[in-house]
């Protein structure tokens, strides 16, 4: 008897669950932790990969599952990192995990950023709040493949200094980054005690070391930031066709079956988990409700 393909080849089965072990847990902020996972199956560890911008469904048996963007570089085989905010029942349990614990994942899902198409271009990454996590994957991938890209600027912002994700990591990279034509800008918007830069992400676009005519822009943050960032980018000459946004909101099943994240109209219908979570500027402006 011939077994169905999804049983013979579980990696091709979108519902297949894979066992992963927690190797390390880092406290990033009061609400966010960084988890380093390793696949238990050695063969899967060698073959499993993803594109920057894709996500996985993290499952805690008996509790539930949550979609989380991968925040590490796909160049690190067998391992991956997730930055997880404690925001509900499942993530509260996840935050109690310790090294040596095992959980389940399925995926990766979504389209990811077109990093292959960006080769030869400058990169401008604009993040706010938890949006830093998925863009960290793009940044680390670009650093792992530095020769493929031109100048790089990473603008990382948060309301308060204590909420700046990966602040210490990015600060530690600054000297080496500048030698590689990589500029790192970190700022806060509501923290009068912060000794560093103050300002919203769009205010620092003018300081980027990128050529607006040949730059791929990746943005992630709260919906309220996008309009101002879009306007600033276009005013500075960045091409709308090279602007990309990744959205994490409202995703649930990860494969477009539950309908939880569908938006738009009958003529412009999108599933954030399946058609995204990475969208172009033109997707955003032509699809009602995509940023709601």
Confidence of residue 89 (pLDDT cuts 50, 70, 90): very high
Q: Over 80: is that where the pLDDT of 290 sits?
A: no
Q: Over 70: is that where the pLDDT of 11 sits?
A: no
In this structure, are residues 67 and 20 in contact, taking their beta carbons and an 8 Å threshold?
no
Question: Distance between CA 148 and CA 162 in Å, rounded?
Answer: 34
Q: Over 60: is that where the pLDDT of 182 sits?
A: yes
Confidence of residue 8 (pLDDT cuts 50, 70, 90): very low
pLDDT value of residue 187: 97
Confidence of residue 236 (pLDDT cuts 50, 70, 90): very high
* CB neighbour class for 111 (10 Å; exposed up to 12, middle 13-18, buried from 19): middle
pLDDT value of residue 268: 66
Q: Over 80: is that where the pLDDT of 291 sits?
A: no
Retrieve residue 187's tokens. Answer: 């700022």
Contacts for 75 with CB less than 8 Å, ≥ 6 apart: 140, 141, 144, 145
Average pLDDT, whole number, for the chain? 90
| Residue 273 marked as a ligand binder | yes
Nearest one of 109, 20, 37, 21 to 68, comparing CA atoms = 109
pLDDT value of residue 138: 98
DSSP secondary structure of 210-249: S-GGGEEEEEES-GGGHHHHHHHHHHTT--GGGEEEE--T
Match 């960045």 to its residue by tokens.
238
| Residue 71 marked as a ligand binder | no
Question: Distance between CA 162 and CA 146 in Å, rounded?
Answer: 30
Question: What are residue 217's DSSP bridge partners?
Answer: 124, 243
Confidence of residue 2 (pLDDT cuts 50, 70, 90): very low
Match 């198409």 to its residue by tokens.
117
Backbone angles phi, psi at 90, to 5 degrees: -70, -45
Domains of the chain: 18-109 (2.40.30.10), 115-246 (3.40.50.80)
Retrieve residue 223's tokens. Answer: 């919906």
pLDDT value of residue 257: 67
3-state secondary structure (DSSP) of residue 43: helix
Retrieve residue 222's tokens. Answer: 């709260």
Give the pLDDT confidence of 42-60 residue by residue, as tens digits: 999 899 999 999 999 999 9
Nearest one of 274, 262, 204 to 232, comparing CA atoms = 204
């Amino acid at each position: 008897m011939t077994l169905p393909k999804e049983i013979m080849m579980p990696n091709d089965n979108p519902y297949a669950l894979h066992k992963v072990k927690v190797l390390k847990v880092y406290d990033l902020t009061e609400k966010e932790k960084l988890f380093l996972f390793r696949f238990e199956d050695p063969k899967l560890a060698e073959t499993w990969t993803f594109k920057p911008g894709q996500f996985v469904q993290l499952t805690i048996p008996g509790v539930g599952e949550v979609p989380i963007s991968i925040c590490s570089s796909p160049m690190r085989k067998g391992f991956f990192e997730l930055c997880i905010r404690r925001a509900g029942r499942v993530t509260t349990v996840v935050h109690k995990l310790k090294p040596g614990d095992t959980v389940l994942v399925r995926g990766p899902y979504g389209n990811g950023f077109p990093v292959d198409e960006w080769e030869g271009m400058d990169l401008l990454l604009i993040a706010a709040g938890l949006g830093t996590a998925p863009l960290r994957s793009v940044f680390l991938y670009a650093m792992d493949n530095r020769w493929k890209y031109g100048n790089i600027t990473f603008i990382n912002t948060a309301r308060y200094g204590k909420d700046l994700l990966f602040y210490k990591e990015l600060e530690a990279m600054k000297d080496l980054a500048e030698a590689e034509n990589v500029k790192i800008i970190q700022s806060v918007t509501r923290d009068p005690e912060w000794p560093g830069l103050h300002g919203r992400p769009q205010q620092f676009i003018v300081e980027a070391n990128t050529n607006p005519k040949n730059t791929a822009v990746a943005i992630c943050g709260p919906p309220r930031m996008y309009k101002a960032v879009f306007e600033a980018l276009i005013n500075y000459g960045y091409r709308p066709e090279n602007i990309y946004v990744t959205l994490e909101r409202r995703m649930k099943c990860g494969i477009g079956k539950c309908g939880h994240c569908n938006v738009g109209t009958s003529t412009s219908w999108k599933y954030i988990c399946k058609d995204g979570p990475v969208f172009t500027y033109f997707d955003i402006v032509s699809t009602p409700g995509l940023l709601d």
